[in-house]
Amino acid sequence: MITIALSKGRIFEETTPLLKAAGIYPLEDPESSRKLILSTNREDVRLIIVRATDVPTYVQYGAADLGVAGKDVLNEHGGAGLYQPLDLKIANCKMMVAVREDFDYFGSIRRGARLKVVTKYVKTAREHFAEKGMHVDLIKLYGSMELGPLVGLADAIVDLVSTGGTLRANNLKAVEEIMNISSRLVVNQASHKLKRILLSPIIESFSNAVEKKQD
């Protein structure tokens, strides 16, 4: 049996065509079903639906053989126990620093001000500001980071941005790019060896489908 860990929403939607390329069709839609284990057309392949941030954990401990997780999530997890053979080039966005439209970010840095930053991505943010030699106070949030600077909780946010629509709607502006984000295929290291015969064709099909999409 092969177990593949996915999260609902954009990861599931954007992984479906890749599964299809590998001849794997889910028999249920996680958006309408409440089931957390979904069967597929293949008796030896099942999908489990977990929170995006939990995908690396399921794969690390071998509860899932494969998973799809954003670079944002993988960076916070650290990648222990995971083999990352493939950038799937889906769920593309950028990790950015953003502030209120009326906030002088670069002026504050020049003055050596100690900024307060809210984020779900504490490790990524810590590494970014340390690399810049900036002293910041990081405050962990679990969502709606955009609100932080609007109500005086923070001066800046570190969050994912794709179109910038949410920033604009909340009078925020992006001031710094931290990294490009896309989702990766992650494989349990033991499964990769022990279930090689089952996993290799799936990984190969994913890889071909990703390349084909690039042309």
Q: Which residues bind ligand ATP (CB under 6 A)?
A: 7, 9-11, 52-53, 70, 72-73, 91-93, 143, 160, 162, 181, 183
| C-beta neighbour count of 128 within 10 angstroms | 21
* Nearest approach, Cβ of residue 174 and ligand ATP (Å): 13
Quote the CA–CA distance of 55 and 15 in Å, as a whole number: 14
| Unique residue bearing structure tokens 């390329």 | 21
β partners of residue 95? 160, 179
Q: Which is nearer to ligand ATP, 41 or 180 (CB)?
A: 180
Helix (H, G, I), strand (E, B) or coil at 131: helix
* Nearest approach, Cβ of residue 179 and ligand ATP (Å): 11
* Nearest approach, Cβ of residue 182 and ligand ATP (Å): 7
For residue 80, give every residue at least 6 positions away whose Cβ sits within 8 Å of its Cβ, in sequence order, or none: 60
* Nearest approach, Cβ of residue 122 and ligand ATP (Å): 14
Q: Which of 191, 156, 193 is nearest to 176 (CA)?
A: 156
Query: Please, are residues 26 and 47 in contact by the beta-carbon 8 Å criterion?
Result: yes
* Nearest approach, Cβ of residue 186 and ligand ATP (Å): 12
Q: Which is nearer to ligand ATP, 9 or 23 (CB)?
A: 9
Please tell me the number of Cα atoms within 13 Å of 72 on its side-chain side: 23
Q: Which is nearer to ligand ATP, 39 or 92 (CB)?
A: 92
Closest chain position to ligand ATP (CB): 70
Q: Which is nearer to ligand ATP, 115 or 167 (CB)?
A: 167
For the chain, count helices (H), then strands (E). 9, 11
* Nearest approach, Cβ of residue 85 and ligand ATP (Å): 18
Quote the CA–CA distance of 86 and 156 in Å, as a whole number: 32
- Structure token digits, residue 195: 């279930």
Q: Which is nearer to ligand ATP, 144 or 208 (CB)?
A: 144
